[in-house]
Structure 1
């Protein structure tokens, strides 16, 4: 931390929060900051005003603070902010969020007041106002103060947001410390604090290849200066393998905006990885990793990076030359293990990112179905227009809907009547963070995509595609099942059978809810069914849910699906499927016990 400015606190009888943060850090024997930060000094409890809507809160904060931030005297303005925020009785979190959205008529004046608040402020709410202003107005000289205040409980998120454009490593360290609930990254934080690059490398390589350790992939790369480590050790095979895993994790759009789009040195790190990828031992794990990188570069979020002309295609060509050709399908085994799955996944996907590598071979409208990894059931439909993946470009809060929903169902087909289609739903459900919809219609010799709904940012323009080319590409995607593995094929065939013969489940007052493969076990087909009794017991209503699992075996998918459909002709699934919950009163009346919550849920 820097030496504190020689300025008096707003209240000479009270220590500024900045000085308090330095003091608390200084008395820690090991210098570590608790995950939640040091507790704030004793003071009045934070007030709450639940009755205010977001719009009302924004209006109140705007009216209260805007005049004060125009005062040219920063000491007087900061004192007024202290008094005014106490009168607002708003939570610190809401106050910071609203402050960050204020319209400022004089940024220089507001910056001076923000600095006075962060450097000499004594109240967390008022200091938070200053930090929120520095998200837009901060400069290099503000970094030491933001780093110190970020050590205090409740201020880390605002501090990291303000540090992001100024000092990415400092921001990343704050994010990791506050969000690493498992403690997996503590050794990395300690190593970074030493400034020893070799210690940082060792700590990075000791991280387990699991989501709980790598879910903060971008922040790990920024905090450890992965780009700098690669420049110093360009042929370090272990470091290259970790780089590939972090890049693939950053490109993943499963649960939020892909982090790769916010990782500054992303293009340079991709270049370094591919340039020296021949240093990786030729194991199946590394081949699968490089193929995953190729799939990301071909049709995933990394396409949206600001590539120099031809560079992304050159990286794909290099990976194509490096990866071995796919071997014939191995003989089936009774119980597939991860190594077998990886080999089979590689065989099925080896061609995908390279078949249309030349621009002239790629249609204007393209459908790419990607099974993201061998040990997962996640399959997404990536739709590209003029080479741009639409879901991350227009939405960015989840991956494309599965092919069973978009392709097998015929939803992407263009008919004379307009049809609205959901392309992607937010990872947390549509009701929380929305979904991306488009209306598809045929207009003469063209297929038109317009009527966008749910896009992030400006409304996208209409897309017009040659109808014959569109139909041809969709027909190709409907025929191409190379992404599919046996259990998924079984599930798809069951789904198709139930679409053709809805009476198989209707006779039991059931309807298919979702059909696919088990999230934790890709070799198990799963049929989820919803039960809505036509005559529910008096005083009840709603739905119940049942799960029918079909573990993998040696039989062909066609035979397994046919056997499942045949069983539905004679047996009520409610008698053999697992009850999965639903309306509690209805379940109790019909004799179903609500399943216990899974451990850790």
Structure 2
């Protein structure tokens, strides 16, 4: 371990994890600690380095370090702490320790365990400390373990390991239950109940906590309480985790339900226990528990027993008591409504029935419309991928359920991921005499019928009518939302009066007191095209229609009187958020009518987001959500007068020592539209204010700002004035992208250790922001070693150590991000940056010297391969290398890639994911041939060619790179795009095969388009002196600016022939595409017989398992007036590291045979043309232009 890393780690002054938990307990004495506080604390201390050893090597290394640790030597123990903090593969390590014999004597275990547990900053330290102290449990240690158990998973299991050995387990469990709240029971993983190995004490502790809440001594309910925990786990399984087949074979579930029935009386003593019984009851009736392997009659008996428990006098007494204490208690209100519906739910199960299921408060999910066929749940039986549809979607229009000629279709459930991913459950409904027949299908395979059901028509229609009119399941906010939408639909003039086209209302089941309405405006105006208002309405056990009508009437009255987007409508200090920019609508903004007080600023929300998952990039969708939450103010009339000069006058008038004056400035700026021209004018304006005053105003605007104008002005004030004190504010706001990123990076330019702050932004930012950062790194006077030697301030990394590997990996990702897309071009258009960047040379040399540590897992190996490729033939080859540095770095890469360690790591990964495209790409790159980087000793330079292929997750596919005297030509002469592909330059009639007749060949094209930002051309020919001449020019360069190269003709032709016949870079689908294209070109009759013309065949690197063959119909179309359609034929081909030529030939033969025997338009999809052409030629028009 390097001394630099050790110094930084030991300089970390964060409080130990245990001390932080004690602070929370003191803040919330004798009451549950809020979930958000626990989650934030656990995540801040979950150290999970980017580069860490793979298991079981991590566990072996730990055992070696542990056995050599001297508990009497502080430095020896500190080294063990630091190893756990930085390099521990935590999950594998804990699993290994649980199956190891005692590591050492009790005395050594207690000595080291105390240091790790009481001084630990990370989960790994605390977990190992708990394990060591469990060898001999002292009561003080048990009290500490129960404190750690408050953090839940993953801290739960090691804490249980110690508590299970304490003689006072039950009192500790009661203490935990008191401070966690039963609604947040620690839950084991699914493997603990599916037969896989796992510590059963995880179930025991959770079960004891539930039993303690039911006011029953835990010791008397070990088995039934464990059953409760199992059932709680099964109820909360994510969709797709367990299929219907799993539940049908889960005998443990039936046993758990049997145990639950025996203690239902004890559980019914609390609202929490009754809620649990109700959830289980509903799942047995209409959910997954109905699929368990019940014995005949057992399910019916359980339903009767739990129904009797829920409808008993004791239940009524418990719920009534809770409502007397708080009439709007969401849990008690939900339980009251559920029990009331049970009282009306009598009689035997019908052939067809509909149940509306509302999840309890605090549980995720939506209201479901569950269909029961002969008392069995239809959706659970056939579709484990998502919940049933909500009543608003299914029951608003009853006509969809009525059989139509020839049939009607209804969607019963949709996948929780996306419908294109896992499909949707649909039913085709038709009449057969006195029966209604359902054919159940998955939309991914609509031709396959999963099941068929037959229902009597009379009872079917009666049940549909009953379900559509039944509102007993609704809570007040939902009914208010439904009535509001009905009223707005009945009176469309209310919306048209203010220029709105439509509205939509709703209420979220988990937030029972809120409902919302969304207004839509399809016309491009200076207000949002869509925005949402939220209202609050207290929950109640019985919905009061009169009160609902009054609330809806108030909303309608306001809409009739004031425009929904006006300040008068919203009232108070709430404002509608919208921005106008050249008359285009902005993204929708959310607006709340609430009493929650001050809206958190954008900075506060960003800090919260960054702290949840340290060093995870913030996505564009998350940035949009942040803007929606804080929102910009609506510009008032006359806002055009708010110019940069006017803002400057307002700044001069501010009294910086007065909070009221600063607040008034913020309000003034909130009414200004942040146009591009205003931002540009602010950049160029000289602001005659002292540096101290600028910093005070900027700090206030950045910390409290809600609008982009406030943030732009704040960042502008700090340009040239920013110090280390304001740097954390600036770099956080810079994560928002666009002009905020560029202004923020400009403001940081003169800050000491600017590279440290830029690295922090890069670790949290996406590609477009990284491009701006890289430009600043080019101009910053920094080196990689200076960055390593600097001690990070507390804001750079909260509760985490900035390791050497992570600095290297982050900087490497920045360097690789530079050419990774057209968005980077804007940041690089005015400079030639890479050649001036000295720091990365030191970085790459350092990485090459320590490749064993920088290639510790598959992800790190992929990053190393990308680095090697860029140093070999990409933009990193143009760095200012000295002497033989570049060759030495490439040699080090080759040595590690060919080592037995990397070979074994890839082989192990291939055993479980042999067809994983990213792994296949790695395996191909490790074995491919690359021409040696040699410099010619003759008067003519050497010439070599290489096909570079990016990973499936990257933006660039295969490109042909030219190496002249070992240096890449495209990266050297053209930084605005990437090289041409092998399908263009290495096809059957390769343009690189020169003759005496000059020809022009495009070597590279800009990322946008050649017509926009140009391309790199080469005029090439064979002269009389038997040399090949290239005149290379940039199409945007001045006339006459060319670079001339001359190559030995024999060596040139031999290299082109070698590259032309070498296809080891191809993946299976790419090789199939090339051979199919060749077949179609050689035999035009294959498509010509069907009046079709061949276009192209290809497989994109981002979808390496997809083959696409494009063709046009009809071939006789010859003018623009003729109707013409484009079709694409799709095929799926498994990826592989090594292409099987025999298998490829077989697939090519199959595709060509299909084209010969079947009209290809009947087995392909329309992907281009026009609706008119489709109608004229007799094809449906639904172009799918995905590439």
Superposed pair shares fold, TM > 0.5: yes
Q: Which residue of 2 aligns with 1:204?
A: none
Instruction: Find out whether 1:573 has 2:1181 as its counterpart.
Output: no
Q: Which residue of 1 aligns with 2:1031?
A: 450
Aligned positions of 1:225-240 closer than 5 A: 229-230=803-804, 239=806
Query: 1:334, 1:513 → 2: CA distance?
Result: 39
Q: Which residue of 1 aligns with 2:945?
A: 367
Counterpart selection for 1:546 from 1109, 1113, 1128: 1128
CA drift of 1:175 comes to 7.7
Q: Which residue of 2 aligns with 1:16?
A: none
Structure 2 vs 1, CA of residues 46 and 251 (structure 1 numbering), >3 Å: closer, same or farther?
farther
Query: 1:459, 1:161 → 2: CA distance?
Result: 38
Q: Which residue of 1 aligns with 2:137?
A: none
Whether contact under 8 Å (2:1018, 2:1033) holds in the other structure is yes
Q: Which residue of 2 aligns with 1:382?
A: 961
Whether contact under 8 Å (2:1001, 2:1018) holds in the other structure is yes
Structure 2 vs 1, CA of residues 418 and 317 (structure 1 numbering), >3 Å: closer, same or farther?
same
Q: Which residue of 2 aligns with 1:477?
A: 1059
Instruction: Find out whether 1:586 has 2:1173 as its counterpart.
Output: yes
Query: 1:42, 1:521 → 2: CA distance?
Result: 44
Q: Which residue of 1 aligns with 2:813?
A: 246
Instruction: Find out whether 1:318 has 2:898 as its counterpart.
Output: no
Query: 1:144, 1:366 → 2: CA distance?
Result: 51
Q: Which residue of 1 aligns with 2:1005?
A: 425
Query: 2:1107, 2:1123 → 1: CA distance?
Result: 29
Q: Which residue of 2 aligns with 1:529?
A: 1111
Structure 2 vs 1, CA of residues 585 and 24 (structure 1 numbering), >3 Å: closer, same or farther?
same
Counterpart selection for 2:932 from 344, 356, 368: 356
Q: Which residue of 2 aligns with 1:461?
A: 1042
CA drift of 1:310 comes to 1.5
Counterpart selection for 2:740 from 136, 139, 156: 156
Query: 2:1006, 2:949 → 1: CA distance?
Result: 19
CA drift of 1:298 comes to 0.9
CA drift of 1:575 comes to 2.1
Please state whether the residue corresponding to 2:1042 is helix, strand or coil: coil
Instruction: Give unmatched runs, 5+ long, in structure 1.
Output: 1-22, 49-63, 69-73, 80-85, 103-108, 182-191, 202-227
Instruction: Find out whether 1:414 has 2:994 as its counterpart.
Output: yes
Q: Give the alignment's TM-score, normalised by structure 2.
A: 0.35
Q: Which residue of 1 aligns with 2:561?
A: none
Query: 2:1067, 2:1185 → 1: CA distance?
Result: 28
Whether contact under 8 Å (1:284, 1:343) holds in the other structure is no
CA drift of 1:342 comes to 3.1
CA drift of 1:305 comes to 1.7
CA drift of 1:412 comes to 2.3
Structure 2 vs 1, CA of residues 175 and 491 (structure 1 numbering), >3 Å: closer, same or farther?
same
Structure 2 vs 1, CA of residues 410 and 299 (structure 1 numbering), >3 Å: closer, same or farther?
same
Structure 2 vs 1, CA of residues 176 and 118 (structure 1 numbering), >3 Å: closer, same or farther?
farther
Q: Which residue of 1 aligns with 2:484?
A: none
Query: 1:540, 1:172 → 2: CA distance?
Result: 57
Query: 1:550, 1:517 → 2: CA distance?
Result: 10
CA drift of 1:91 comes to 7.1
CA drift of 1:322 comes to 2.2
Instruction: Find out whether 1:346 has 2:920 as its counterpart.
Output: no
Query: 1:578, 1:242 → 2: CA distance?
Result: 43
Instruction: Find out whether 1:396 has 2:963 as its counterpart.
Output: no
Query: 2:693, 2:1046 → 1: CA distance?
Result: 56
Query: 2:602, 2:1131 → 1: CA distance?
Result: 57
CA drift of 1:488 comes to 1.9
Structure 2 vs 1, CA of residues 165 and 46 (structure 1 numbering), >3 Å: closer, same or farther?
farther
Query: 1:279, 1:149 → 2: CA distance?
Result: 30
* Greater C-alpha radius of gyration: 2
Query: 2:926, 2:764 → 1: CA distance?
Result: 37
Whether contact under 8 Å (1:544, 1:587) holds in the other structure is no
Cα distance per residue 1:252-272 (max 9 Å; x no partner) = 635554999497732232222
Query: 2:985, 2:920 → 1: CA distance?
Result: 27
Q: Which residue of 1 aligns with 2:490?
A: none
- Number of corresponding residues: 493
CA drift of 1:407 comes to 1.5
Cα distance per residue 1:478-530 (max 9 Å; x no partner) = 12222123332222222233344445445545444442225454244332234
- Larger mean CA deviation between 304-313 and 277-286 belongs to 277-286
Aligned positions of 1:260-299 closer than 5 A: 261=834, 265-279=839-853, 287-299=861-873
Q: Give the alignment's TM-score, normalised by structure 1.
A: 0.63
CA drift of 1:124 comes to 8.1
Please state whether the residue corresponding to 2:986 is helix, strand or coil: helix
Whether contact under 8 Å (2:871, 2:877) holds in the other structure is yes
- Larger mean CA deviation between 490-499 and 470-479 belongs to 490-499
Cα RMSD, aligned residues only: 5.5
Whether contact under 8 Å (1:92, 1:128) holds in the other structure is no
Q: Which residue of 2 aligns with 1:515?
A: 1097
Whether contact under 8 Å (2:679, 2:712) holds in the other structure is yes
- Larger mean CA deviation between 148-157 and 572-581 belongs to 148-157
CA drift of 1:157 comes to 3.4
Query: 1:111, 1:583 → 2: CA distance?
Result: 56
Structure 2 vs 1, CA of residues 594 and 448 (structure 1 numbering), >3 Å: closer, same or farther?
farther
CA drift of 1:424 comes to 2.8
CA drift of 1:382 comes to 1.6
Structure 2 vs 1, CA of residues 110 and 145 (structure 1 numbering), >3 Å: closer, same or farther?
farther
Query: 1:336, 1:31 → 2: CA distance?
Result: 37
Q: Which residue of 1 aligns with 2:381?
A: none
Query: 2:814, 2:1052 → 1: CA distance?
Result: 32
Please state whether the residue corresponding to 2:980 is helix, strand or coil: coil
Query: 2:1020, 2:978 → 1: CA distance?
Result: 20
CA drift of 1:561 comes to 2.8
Structure 2 vs 1, CA of residues 380 and 290 (structure 1 numbering), >3 Å: closer, same or farther?
same
CA drift of 1:369 comes to 0.4
Query: 1:592, 1:252 → 2: CA distance?
Result: 42
Cα distance per residue 1:319-354 (max 9 Å; x no partner) = 222222698999xx999734687367535643545x
Structure 2 vs 1, CA of residues 586 and 268 (structure 1 numbering), >3 Å: closer, same or farther?
same
Cα distance per residue 1:512-563 (max 9 Å; x no partner) = 4442225454244332234465349997645423233253597432343344
Query: 1:157, 1:447 → 2: CA distance?
Result: 48
